[in-house]
Chains A and B, each alone.
Chain A
Amino acid sequence: MIQFRAPYVLPCSRNGMAVLRCAVAVAAASGLGGGTAHAQKLDPTKSKPAPRVSIERRGAITHDASVRIYGAISSLRIVGWERDSLVITGTMPAGWRFDGGMGSGVMGPSRGAKFYVDAGSDVYPAAAELEIRAPSRARLWAKSGSADIEVSGMSGGLDLNIVGGSITVAGTPRELNIESMDGNVRVQAGASWLRVKTATGAIDVRGGSEDAGLSTVSGTIHVADGRYERAKLETVTGDVDYAGEVGYKGSVDITTHSGKIDLRLPPKPNIELDAATVTGTIENGVTRSAPVPGREGRGMELGFSSGNGDTHVVVRSFKGNVALKPR
């Protein structure tokens, strides 16, 4: 039997409400003996230790099966393995319902599975904590409210959707689609096809991608490393820090309204740069090209071709300042 191992890292975000929420979750979790992430619509005056029941489902499944899981989940750990079977373990408060099942495979193992956790109430001090072991090439879809989701060892497709909490993905999924409201997102090893969207949550990406699209309203975007063939980074007020490489004939497109943009480049970059800010400033600390005043004297523009210029980088900002810094 796979033992459930609860993660003990709490995703306390920057804002005060999230910190308060985390503190409440800590109190609730400690009372429950091993709970983790914040719960939803928590009423501290009514929170008291509640008995939990264990969850366990096992079954044969194809290596490329589709697995869907959703509901009141506060902690979800997804582990890809090299077996054609699906195992779901964990705990949830007594009285809740964990339901669903695996599709019946006509000629063999199931090609799909679908499970959900039903709290039966809007008020609950702690939600389900689950671990899923699935074939590494399976396609997995998970949706919850506030949840901490950790993924490792998956090389198939992942579609993860949360409101709060956090998502951390290790491994190199073929396709990775993440949507979050204020939950922070960390992609540690990249994905061939990558899409991350948040409202206020921070986005931290490493590892590179053939096709990456990262967007947020007020969260920050940090691309620490990796090689990107095509990358599109967009924020409204959030800062952008790009330190990745751009693939041969690749393109990186960064757009922000008022966020600060730091573009970290090697000393002799092979790029064709086209940067413009409507009212902000541009600083070039990498090449000798100097920014010039923008249209009608407003803002600044900077364009140059360096090295063989085989990659294209476009930077656009309304009033956010742009800085080219040595990597």
Chain B
Amino acid sequence: MIDYREHSSFEELNDFLDDRLDEAAARAVLEHLAACEQCSRERDRLVGVLNGARSVSMSILPPDDIWPDLKKQLESRKTVVLPSTQLGPAASGGKAGATQRIWKSGPFLAAAALILVVLSSGITALVLRDGNRGDRTANPADLVAWPVNRAPAVLPAGFQETETQYNRTIQELQLAVNEQRGRLSPETVRIVERSLALVDSAIDEARSALLADPNDQVLVRLLSANYQRKLDLLRRASELGPRT
């Protein structure tokens, strides 16, 4: 119930004009407006706004000739005026001007680009190499050229845990094989080591490729298969009897 002695709020007047008040509230506002000149003026102002809004067109189409002008402005913005580094002799002095010319010379820029490429490749190689696999000796010349500037350089989340399990088991089996080594014939040791080197090289290649393209399920499968071959080989080597 609205108290007649109090003015109607702005929200109440809007709701009244929008016909959103219930019957009792609307009657109270109406009675207050009849008695209150201030609120009545506010009501008239709001009615004026509503009428003005109703007269506005519901859609606005741009003039037909606006696109050529707009396009012309966009094209003009493509020309970026860089701040000039070529200071005049009077402003920079002769020595500074010579230094600027050296920095901008072709050989210097080429050398800088070369250093940047070498640094970038080195950092990428460090990132791609897993720290706990330092004993592997994949021939870099055999590695396929994969794009190196793609992110992220991590294995798929689902495979990381799998690889951890593989490496844990491989470590345990490797220890068993190392203990066994003295009891095996030299030729058997050579066979095992040669085969392990082949598998490790294959793991390196597939792993590097997967780092560069983590969404490639074919690579996941190939890498898993290589790990499985290594597990098989180590398990069998660890189970060989003495003098074999």
Contact = CB atoms under 8 A, between A and B. Distances in A.
A binds B: yes
Contacts of B236: 179, 181, 197, 199
Interface in B186-244: 187-188, 190-192, 194-195, 198-199, 202, 205-206, 209, 213, 216, 218-219, 221-222, 225-226, 228-229, 232-233, 236, 240-241, 243-244
Nearest to B213: A295
B34 interface: no
Contacts, number: 100
Interface in A287-324: 295-296, 298, 316-319
Nearest to B150: A296
B144 interface: yes
Given A181-B188, A200-B194, A316-B218, A215 B229 contact: yes
A144 B199 CA distance: 25
A34 to B, nearest CB: 23
B185 interface: yes
B243 A119 contact: yes
Nearest to A237: B198
A296 B214 CA distance: 13
Interface residues of B, number: 32
A206 interface: no
A278 B219 contact: yes
A72 B241 CA distance: 10
Nearest to A197: B232
Contacts of A145: 185, 188, 241, 243-244
A247 B224 CA distance: 27
Contacts of A181: 188, 191-192, 195, 236
Contacts of B243: 40-41, 72, 119, 122, 145
Interface in B17-74: none
Interface in A25-52: 40-41
A318 to B, nearest CB: 5
Interface in A218-272: 218, 234, 236-237, 255, 257-258
A215 B231 CA distance: 12
A197 B195 CA distance: 13
> Closest 8 interchain pairs by CB?
A145-B244, A257-B202, A199-B195, A217-B195, A255-B225, A163-B244, A279-B144, A236-B202
